[in-house]
Structures are given as structure tokens and as C-alpha cells.
Chain A
Amino acid sequence: MNLYLNQIAAIVWKDFVTELKTRELLSAMFIFALLVILIFIFSINLSIVKASEVGPGILWVAFLFAGTIGLNRSFMLEKENGCLMGLMLVPADRTTIYFGKLISNLIFLSIMELFILPLFMIFFNIDLLSHLGPLLVVVFLGTLGFCALGTLLSSLSANLKTREIMLPILLYPLLIPIIIGAVRMTGQILDGTELADMMKWVGLTASFDIIYIGVSIMTIDHILEE
């Protein structure tokens, strides 16, 4: 068990060191998410439309589109120079690769989201601070599901020539339950609903998170094999 966790930690460490040197992933995700929010803020008349009604959807569009860039880049790192082959040759269960990449993706996306949330609050003039705790729980659940499925599918699409197109085509339809749950919960939180009053949605989102992780554990071996 110790070795298993150390191997996962090694993959996360490797991704972090790479990102510290290149700063490619976080900067690309942050700029893209910011761009999405800016485009919407300039195209919506907030004196007519209530910010808390359109805001959650816009926020999650920004997260998902920016996150897709991150997922694509994440496995491309392993494809360069045949590094994935190097990972496949170590005496590790293939799920270590999955969990290592999942945790890396989750952390990078979460960092991006923590930078975007204050900007979202400012641009849309929505008070997030008074709902911060429940909001962070919802953002975590949604991001976990996105990363759980996205890590699996990015490992699949990394072998394809049209990977940048294929990943969103494969990913977004399967993410619908998570997206619906995350957007609905975000909207209800901004309306002042307590987290305890939306356990149906919390349960739905968390269930799909678990399903995505379970399916990934069962299939990652076959997907990574040539």
C-alpha cells in the first residue's frame, strides 16, 4: 500500500515540477476561463437579466472549457517522447497512473477555479463570500467528476490524431449529470439555499463521481495498453 501511494505521489510530484518550470497548463486554463467570463459579461445586459440566474451556467462553462484544455495537455505530457511507455514499464498497477493524473488534474483545475471565482464575483457583482463553504463543496464535487471522467477519456483520446476535438465530443455528453447537478446547486446556493436542503443534487453528483472513478479503475488497464 505504501508503494502504491508513493507511486501516485511521484506522478503528482512530477506533474507539479513540470508545471512549475513551464507554467503552461495553469496560465492557459486561467486565461481561457477569464476570456469566457469576459465575453459573457460584455454580451449580457445585467440590468435586465439577473446575475444569479445566468452566473452559475457561465461559471461552469468557463470551468469546463478551460478544464478541457488542461486535460488535453495533461496526457500529452505523457505521450511526448514515449513517456507513457516509461510509465507502463514500471512495476506499478495501472491505476496508479490514473489516480496520479486525476489528482494532478484536480489540483490544477482547483487552483484555476480559486483564481477565477473572485473575478467572477467582481464582474457579476455576486456575493460569493457569504456562501463560500457550500460553494466550494459544490465546486469540488463538480470538478472531481469532471476530472475523474476527463482523465480517463483524455488517456483514450491522447492516441488519436484529432484528440483536441475528440475529447470534448466524448466527454461532454457523459458529463451531463454532473453539469446539471453542479449548475443547479450553484444557482440554489447563490439564491441562499442551504446545502442540507439540496442533498438530492449532492447525492446525484457524488454518485456520478463514484461511478466515473469506478469505471475508470476497471477500464484504465485496457485503455493504456497498446
Chain B
Amino acid sequence: MESLENAIEVRHLRKAFGTLKAVDGIDFELKQGEFLTVFGPNGAGKTTLIKILAGLTRPSSGTAKVAGFDVAEGHPEMRKEIGIISHATALYADLTPLENLIFFARMHGLKQPEDRALKVIDEVGLSPRRNDRVRTFSRGMLQRLSIARAVLHDPAILFLDEPFTGLDLHATNVLKEHLQRLHDRHRTILMTTHDISCGLEMCDKVALQVQGKFAFLENITDIDKDQFESIYFDAVRDNQFAMKIDF
């Protein structure tokens, strides 16, 4: 990615499905190397926000630029700069990890796809299982393989949509280690999660999305973690738009 000040820029972003406003006027910027965690109750529009930024769906109005590209224009070049990890693994169950990653490496146009696939499989600790069908994997192993798929092409920006869902303690710790490594490598990360402790642990910025809007967006250093938890649970219970919060 060219040296851009902002890896992600979002202005007045909206997405409606009929009368349902999934994203309802979101504005924010994320500099290169920053880590933003977005919390919010179910149905707040977090997944829709990620889908828009990843170019999987177009916004109804507003603009979003990722790696300098307007997401609405659907540039294939933008997709070289992004990777996504969600609760859907995007892995072919009847293929092995090696076959899955060779396939995606070829789709990304990587030179020596097999070498690259073997390298990332090793990085996520799945080398002993590289020739076993993905269908036989546990949830934690699937998530590790998802990470491998997402970082295969070494993207500058990563989107993680509730990546801790369904993971046990060990798998959660493994995922956190990988995310920390990616953060240390100056990757820009936007993560949505319900897990407050994991979400607050690694990020530089925190947002709370409720009914399609950001209730607030602050630096982690400006957040009182205990106060944030009670605000979050109020939002989950009431599922109402929280007024701007002043700490």
C-alpha cells in the first residue's frame, strides 16, 4: 500500500436494506497501523460495516476509502490490500489446508503459491495437519487456518468480524497472539467483537456501534474500562442509541 496517512476513511456512510438502516451515518478515520475495535449489540450493523469496507456490498450513500480506493468502485486492486477473518471460515471443507491456501494463493496471483502456502501454514502452527481435510478440524484450528488465508497475500489492512466466536480459551489466546504479531507488524486492523476483555486489550481505538451509528469513538487511553463495560451492557440491554458519552 502506498504511504497514505489514513488506511481507512469513512464519511457519512449509510447502508439500508429496504427500511432497515444497518449503517446510519458513520464517520471515522483509521491511520495506518492503528487497531480499532468496534463493539455493539447484535443487529447494530457491525458486520454490514465490515462488508462495505471489504467491498462485499455497496453503501447506499456516503463514501468509504480503504487503502486509498473508493469501496463503491470495486477495484480488484483494493482487495490485494485487505484480508478478512469472520465467523464463516471461507475454507473448502473437503480440501486440505495446503490445497485451500494454494488455491487462494493462485487467485491472488502470488508467485510460488505452494511455498507461500506452506510458510503461512507453518506460521499458524498447522504444518502437522496440512494434508488433512479441513472438515476434520476443530473450531480453533479452523480459525487459525482462516488467519492463514487472510494473511496469505500479506495485506496491509485486516477486517475481523467477531473472530473469537466459538473459540475455547487456548484458541482465543492463540488468536490474540497472532493479532498482536500483526499489530506489531504495523497492520491496520478493524475488529468487531462482543468480547470486551479481548477487544480492549489490543486496540488503539474503541468504538461502540448501536443501531447503525457510532455512539462514540475514542482512543483506548481515554477510556475507563469499567465505565465502558457498564455503558456497553446498557446499550446491549436497551439497544437504543446512546448519546455522546463524555468520560
Binding site for B on A (CB under 8 A): 3, 6-7, 9-11, 13-14, 17-18, 21-22, 77, 80-83, 85-93, 221, 225-226
Contacts and interface: CB of A to CB of B under 8 A. Distances in A.
B79 A90 contact: yes
A3 B77 CA distance: 13
Interface in B71-117: 74, 76-80, 82-84, 86, 88-95, 99, 103-104, 106-109
Contacts of A7: 106-107, 109
Nearest to B90: A86
Given A21-B133, A81-B92, A90-B79, A14 B58 contact: no
B77 to A, nearest CB: 6
12 contacts: A7-B106, A10-B103, A14-B92, A14-B95, A14-B99, A14-B103, A80-B93, A85-B88, A87-B107, A89-B90, A91-B79, A92-B79
B89 A10 contact: no
Contact of B95 (A18, A87, A93): A18
B108 A90 contact: yes
Closest 3 CB pairs between A and B?
Answer: A82-B88, A86-B90, A10-B106
A90 B84 contact: no
A58 B233 CA distance: 64
Query: Secondary structure at chain A's binding surface: helix, strand, loop or mixed?
Result: helix
A226 B94 contact: no
B139 interface: no
- Chain B CB count within 10 A is highest, among A7, A89, A91, for A89
B95 A91 contact: no
A7 B106 CA distance: 6
A61 B55 CA distance: 41
B89 A81 contact: yes
A91 B90 contact: no
B144 interface: no
A81 B91 contact: yes
B94 A89 contact: no
B212 to A, nearest CB: 17
Contact of B99 (A17, A77, A90): A17
Contacts of A80: 92-93
A18 B91 CA distance: 12
Given A13-B103, A14-B103, A89-B84, 18 more contacts: A3-B109, A6-B106, A17-B99, A21-B95, A82-B88, A83-B90, A83-B91, A83-B92, A87-B107, A88-B55, A88-B56, A89-B79, A91-B76, A91-B79, A91-B80, A92-B79, A93-B76, A226-B56
A83 to B, nearest CB: 5
B92 A225 contact: no
Interface of B: 51, 54-58, 74, 76-80, 82-84, 86, 88-95, 99, 103-104, 106-109, 133, 149
Contacts of A221: 74
A88 to B, nearest CB: 6
Contact of A91 (B84, B91, B109, B133): B109
Contacts of B90: 81-83, 85-86, 89
Nearest to A90: B107
Contacts of A18: 92, 94-95
B81 to A, nearest CB: 9
A82 B109 CA distance: 21
B54 A89 contact: yes
A89 B74 contact: no
Contacts of B89: 81-82
Given A82-B88, A91-B80, A91-B108, A22 B56 contact: no
A9 B102 CA distance: 12
B104 A86 contact: yes
A89 B59 CA distance: 17
B167 to A, nearest CB: 16
Given A10-B107, A92-B107, A226 B95 contact: no
Nearest to A225: B57
Contacts of B51: 226
A21 to B, nearest CB: 5
A92 B153 CA distance: 13
A225 to B, nearest CB: 6
A92 B51 CA distance: 17
Nearest to A21: B94
Nearest to A14: B103
